[in-house]
Amino acid sequence: MEVIRAKRAGACYGVQRALDMAAEVIEAGGRAYTLGPLIHNPQVVDELAARGAAAVASVEDIPAAARTDAAAADGAPAVVIRSHGVTPEVLAAVEERGFSVVDATCPHVSRAQAAAAELAREGCRVVVLGEAGHPEVEGLTAWARQAGGKVDVVAGPGEIPAGLYDPVGVVAQTTQRKENLEAVVAALREQGLDPIVKNTICSATRQRQEAAADLAAAVDAMVVIGGRNSSNTTRLAEVCALTCPRTFHIESVDELNATAFAGCRRIGVTAGASTPENQIASVEAFLKTL
């Protein structure tokens, strides 16, 4: 049995940066909270909580005692902004309550937020390509609206509303597939529009998808590691399944069993941008025992 890892796989720069920033707060002895999961990886989020960085759904969910301490100049706990970013309203609420802000928003997401706001300021109707309800998409939408824009969130060309008129701008969730962005742009042009396109798809996402697709075409089975709530990992699984029907999206090695790989000679492994090295290594170790 040959186990092959994709040339590009696992934690990206933005994720590692967020983890390092949270770790610095914890190691300095400070108390910390993250607004939502810091990254979309349940195991990592649980580890952070055990070390002292608990995830809360909103600023209001931070314990009252911590908010009281925040009023003291030397007692404010840190609120770590997750890698997916937050809305400007949430950021303002954190600052108004006197918490120390550690902004771990991925730089690529920050760039996408700025692009959405720029399109809105230019008078564009902003089309956000992404998953409705995803925290990154909620942030992109909010930053565009704060800049005065009207926004439509679409998952693909079939969701583009009728009756749009120029100027129209397009911005993409950083983990979207390039082909989906191209299809949306083509559909807008078919409506007679001339969209202003900001390609905000992260290069790390694209590289992982391309490497996964190449590997999936050359193996008998693919294992894709990462949180089921992770958009980029879900996209990886979709890409792999196009050429390798025996594709398994898992969160941990405990989900694997030997019978699923009966008859396989080559197994490919890839992982989402929120998947640390130790999780990849444990899966590879298991597969090599088959």
What is the predicted pLDDT for the residue at 65? 57
CATH code where residue 59 lies = 3.40.50.11270
Domain assignment of residue 132, given as a range: 108-201
232 has binding-site annotation = yes
What is the predicted pLDDT for the residue at 164? 95
What is the predicted pLDDT for the residue at 70? 45
CA angle 95, 96, 100 (to 5 degrees): 35
Asked whether residue 101 falls in the same domain as residue 156, the answer is no
Asked whether residue 21 falls in the same domain as residue 98, the answer is yes
12 has binding-site annotation = yes
Asked whether residue 228 falls in the same domain as residue 252, the answer is yes
What is the predicted pLDDT for the residue at 71? 42
How many C-alpha atoms does 112 have within 13 Å on its Cβ side?
33
Asked whether residue 217 falls in the same domain as residue 278, the answer is yes
What is the predicted pLDDT for the residue at 32? 86
Count structural domains, the chain: 3
User: pTM of the full predicted structure?
Assistant: 0.82
Compute how many other C-beta atoms are within 10 angstroms of the C-beta atom of residue 140.
31
Identify whether the C-beta of residue 94 lies closer than 8 Å to the C-beta of residue 59: yes
Asked whether residue 120 falls in the same domain as residue 193, the answer is yes
252 has binding-site annotation = no
> Of the residues 71, 106, 141, which one is the last residue of a structural domain?
106
174 has binding-site annotation = yes
Identify whether the C-beta of residue 236 lies closer than 8 Å to the C-beta of residue 226: yes
Q: Tens of pLDDT along the chain (290 residues)? A: 899 999 999 999 999 999 999 999 888 876 789 988 999 899 999 999 999 888 998 888 887 656 545 444 455 678 999 999 999 999 999 888 888 889 999 999 999 999 999 999 999 999 999 999 999 999 999 999 999 999 999 999 999 999 999 999 999 999 898 899 999 999 999 999 999 999 999 988 889 999 999 999 999 999 999 999 888 899 899 999 999 999 999 999 999 999 999 999 999 999 999 999 999 999 999 999 99
What is the C-alpha separation between 264 and 2, in angstroms, rounded? 9
Identify whether the C-beta of residue 267 lies closer than 8 Å to the C-beta of residue 221: yes
Asked whether residue 195 falls in the same domain as residue 221, the answer is no
What is the C-alpha separation between 65 and 45, in angstroms, rounded? 23
CATH code where residue 263 lies = 3.40.1010.20
Asked whether residue 212 falls in the same domain as residue 197, the answer is no
| pLDDT tens-digit map of 79-107 | 999 999 999 999 999 888 888 889 999 99
Asked whether residue 194 falls in the same domain as residue 114, the answer is yes
105 has binding-site annotation = no
Asked whether residue 172 falls in the same domain as residue 242, the answer is no
What is the predicted pLDDT for the residue at 155? 97
Asked whether residue 86 falls in the same domain as residue 35, the answer is yes
Crossing angle of helices 107-121/13-27, nearest 10°? 110
DSSP conformation class of 160: P
What is the predicted pLDDT for the residue at 76? 65
> Of the residues 89, 106, 123, which one is the last residue of a structural domain?
106
Q: Which residues are part of the catalytic machinery?
A: 136
DSSP conformation class of 151: E
Asked whether residue 89 falls in the same domain as residue 23, the answer is yes
Distances (CA, A) of 113 to 66, 126, 170: 30, 12, 12
What is the C-alpha separation between 197 and 4, in angstroms, rounded? 37
What is the predicted pLDDT for the residue at 78? 87
> Of the residues 84, 106, 128, which one is the last residue of a structural domain?
106
What is the C-alpha separation between 239 and 227, in angstroms, rounded? 16
